[in-house]
Amino acid sequence: GLYQEAHRPQFHFTPHEKWMNDPNGLVFHQGVYHLFYQYYPEDIVWGPMHWGHAISKDMVHWENKPIALFPDEHGYIFSGSAVVDTNNSSGFGTKDNPPLVAIFTYHDPVGEKAKKDDFQTQGIAYSLDNGDTWVKYEGNPVIKNEGIRDFRDPKVFWNNKTGNWTMLLVAGDHLQIWQSPDLKEWVKVSEFGKNQGAHGGVWECPDLFPLKVEGTDMEKWVLLISINPGAPNGGSGTQYFVGDFDGTTFKSDQKEHKWIDWGTDNYAGVTYNNVPNNERVFIGWMSNWAYAQETPTEKWRSAMTLPRKLSLQQINDKFELFNYPLDSVDEIRGPVASEDITIGPKLDKSLTFDHFNKSEVKFKTSSRAFSLDFQNSSGEHLNLILDSEAQQFILDRSNSGKTTFDEDFAKNVQIMPIPDLPNGEYEVRVLMDWSSVEIFINHGQYVMTAQIFPNEFYRNLMISNPSDMELKLDTFTISPIKSIW
């Protein structure tokens, strides 16, 4: 049946068929969350980019829509954002029916082939029927290129401090900030990052937004920058900075970067414009350019992460960005049974479940060391280890199933430092789909997202206690997750 192919995610967004990468144009409008995405409708590898489209009321169940944007004489349609032009500043609609405006990068393959360095420009398009059909602006491109090879991924938002539109644009090794009264005429106002943050690869997919520091009245600004390569566990990853934004210039509190997710498979993630109650909702592309085009699926390739709520906490003088599944994810959880588990020193306990590749495993503990090993009857297993003495969490997928499509994937062991794990009790939550695992420690303080391709479902969970003390896992809960399709 539909969405039943091998490895097809059951509670994550995937396109019905063909290639997908970055989430684009994330905007909430008239009760609907839009998800546009980098899409190539002809093959399961990257190609001439379109914007695919899906909509949702809860960000969990999705309805597929026709392709929104097709390549044209200016080039392919690369990543970008969308805004609700409430005051009709662009003149594309009316105040009664404000336009949705998409702002994206044009990538001209002809210029690229000719080895020019001005083949990425910025264009806009508008929709007057809540995203169903789009008209490209006849004045495109609205930002030309003065000779920067990588010049892309515009994120536009309404700037309350200056009363205009603000665009974040990446230019190779740094961020540029531009402003406009009408989404058509743009002026560059500042730059950030040439000497700050991680620079293992090109900067991509920026985002910038305010968040209240939990438990205070303080507001800080968070800047997201994806880089490829240069992530801590190889390939692509997303770093963040916390600082201040005066409406024109961003200043980071710290010189070094941090990572929003330590797993290999959360890239190019950005947040929604216009979400009610000032919530910051994030979605990432659940893959990695290191092997994205080789993963063992046939009908489609790649998925999005679960939608996650972002929040900011001050921990030991540092601001830390948390990301944790939206409450709506709880709605697809099946009947829940929980027990308190105690395992003696150096002992293990085995639990069976039918099956883990569509489940949530959740518990609370104050233990400082444990191992969770998800196993199938083909001898494949995914091992998650918390070792607080080494201040590390380890995800070992080297024998998790199909791995040989990529040399690095086949020996992949991922490490996440956990220096500020709370001393007392903390939550561990593992959401596993047919081809992914998302791990949230202490409500999203430490997060890992990784793809896995087991040949059979994992049906056994071996919990091990490596320490000399009792291991206590409180309200240990395994819940089935319902398919969203």
* Max Cα-Cα span within the chain: 70
Of residues 26 and 329, the one with the C-beta less far from ligand FRU:
26
Cβ–Cβ contacts within 10 Å for residue 70, how many?
14
Exposure string for 12-23, b = 16+ CB within 10 A, e = fewer: bbbbeebbbbbb
| Annotation marks residue 474 as catalytic | no
Dihedrals φ, ψ of 410, to 5°?
-65, -20
* Least distance CB 110 / ligand FRU (angstroms): 17
DSSP state of 307: P
CB of 49 to ligand FRU, least distance (A): 5
Of residues 306, 291, 330, the one with CA closest to residue 436: 306
* CB of residue 288 to ligand FRU, shortest distance in Å: 10
Q: At its nearest, how many Å lie between ligand FRU and the CB of residue 268?
A: 4
Min CB(285)–ligand FRU separation in Å: 7
Candidates 22, 261, 265, 433; catalytic one:
22
* C-beta closer to ligand FRU: residue 78 or 119: 78
Shortest reach from residue 21's CB to ligand FRU, in Å: 5
Distance CA 176, CA 162 (A): 17
CB of 127 to ligand FRU, least distance (A): 20
Cβ-based nearer residue to ligand FRU, 236 or 436: 236
Q: Pick the closer one to ligand FRU by CB: 235 or 444.
A: 235
**Spatial contact of 473 and 363, defined as CB atoms under 8 Å apart:** yes
Q: What are phi and psi of 293, to 5 degrees?
A: -90, 0
Are residues 434 and 10 in contact, defined by beta-carbon separation less than 8 angstroms?
A: yes
DSSP conformation letters of 136-162: E-TT--SB--SS-SSEEEEEEEEETTT
**Which one, 13 or 393, has the nearer CB to ligand FRU?**
13
- Shorter beta-carbon distance to ligand FRU: residue 149 or 299: 149
Footprint on this chain of ligand FRU (rule: CB under 6 A): 21-22, 38, 49, 78-79, 105, 152-153, 204-205, 268
Q: Which residues contact 283 (CB under 8 A, 6 or more apart)?
A: 23, 26, 35, 59, 269, 270, 304, 305, 307, 308
Q: What is the dihedral of CA 33, 311, 244, 267, to 10 degrees?
A: -60
Tokens 């001050």 -> residue: 314
Burial of 404 per CB tally in 10 Å (0-12, 13-18, 19+) = exposed
| Residue (20 or 421) nearer to ligand FRU, CB | 20
Instruction: Specify the residue for token string 């794990």.
Output: 421
Q: Running DSSP on this structure, what letter comes out for residue 36?
A: E
DSSP β-ladder status, 18-29 and 258-259: unpaired
> Can you read off the two tokens belonging to residue 160?
């309350």
Residues involved in catalysis: 22
